[in-house]
Chains A and B, each alone.
Chain A
């Protein structure tokens, strides 16, 4: 190496040291402002898989907020998931209306129509959940950041939950109108069932979507993996909904089915938290 190059490298090394000192100072400043947390504030995920002492990291809440904001912004711009899910549900209710050849449905039949439609509509959203990240390198961009990987799990679950809420804001009134389902008095109880089922679909759906997106057959694998795992949610939700959709609203949702939905949500929430890191890993 020439003397000129050696002096260039020495100068670059000096600049590098200065830049490193500046970076450390910036990190310290940011930390004071609550932008970063150190050591004890590091997320549990930072200490997983024997990765040593955690480095400065962005708090989980901030990371989830950034990811969720980005997810909703992308959906707002592309309209690739929610409109498709909603249109699918509306079309399916119309098909049921003509296929059943009835002006109104209630009880078990109404419950079946509602939950099967919501299940398949939600699978459309599940299939699209990681597509933008996979196609545009978003997962790598996320993995390069000093952020607990659970942030992506939580943000995706919340995103899917938002999609499901919007879907149901469209689909449930349409269901009541198109199939003349008696549900005005049952609405508070129905909302409880919908909320418990939505959490389950969001948790299971995120897990399945993260797994499927790694494969070339993701469009096929998502529903194939998702349907068996979502069946218990449909069973619990249908059993809990059935007494609500009868003329005069005779019943209330059985507590055991609500408890079953809550337990399923909890179990899959824990499973998703435990395995999500490994799904993102090489």
Chain B
């Protein structure tokens, strides 16, 4: 069963086409890695899948729901990790996660579990603005998986994480998480390692698409030249 199905997806900002003619299918449990230079349309794609942006043309189905008509039913089933951590800098990690737990109807003991799992318990009561970027990224990852979403939308999820932190977050958002993942990345080699489907975007259009067996690292690196 497909978790994500796109057919001729297009989206523009004023005159500028951010995405045009994107079609793909991603099965449940699979990982789609999206690559492309800055401004290629990766973040726009994630925001459309998260039902935060409306597509201007084409068909979008996420978890068997058509967007934007059934966006209400997709909310709560996706976890979006964007560049912006969606956390309040003046609040502590625990307060931020408790707030999101309440919004998602998640029991608050899950907050303590996640903080412990991500080795954040000791700093959980300090304002977020006093934490390092890597720690804030870990809190943002905890927020993303707090409600056990079926589909993870991850925009450069490993940014700012040291090797130790990578090991901590891997069970939550890595290939072993058992979740369907759509992940933006600038790492062609990593993409070929982790992906079941690779999508390369350039100026909003599909430049490369296929399984890792069908796509070469050179093609992906060419996206940035």
Contact = CB atoms under 8 A, between A and B. Distances in A.
Contacts of B213: 1-2
Contacts of B127: 77
Contact of B196 (A1, A30, A54, A77): A1
B183 interface: no
Contact of A137 (B54, B86, B211): B86
A35 B106 CA distance: 8
Contacts, number: 151
A13 B29 contact: yes
Interface in A83-108: none
26 contacts: A1-B211, A9-B27, A12-B30, A13-B29, A16-B150, A16-B180, A19-B178, A20-B150, A23-B150, A35-B105, A35-B106, A36-B105, A51-B71, A73-B91, A74-B88, A74-B91, A78-B90, A136-B84, A136-B87, A136-B88, A137-B84, A138-B88, A144-B50, A144-B78, A146-B76, A146-B104
Given A16-B28, A19-B178, A78-B90, A142 B103 contact: yes
Contact of A54 (B30, B72, B104, B179): B72
A159 to B, nearest CB: 14
A8 B82 CA distance: 27
Contact of A52 (B52, B69, B178): B69
A70 interface: yes
Contacts of B103: 58, 63, 66-67, 141-142, 145, 147
A46 B99 contact: no
B29 A65 contact: no
B196 A55 contact: no
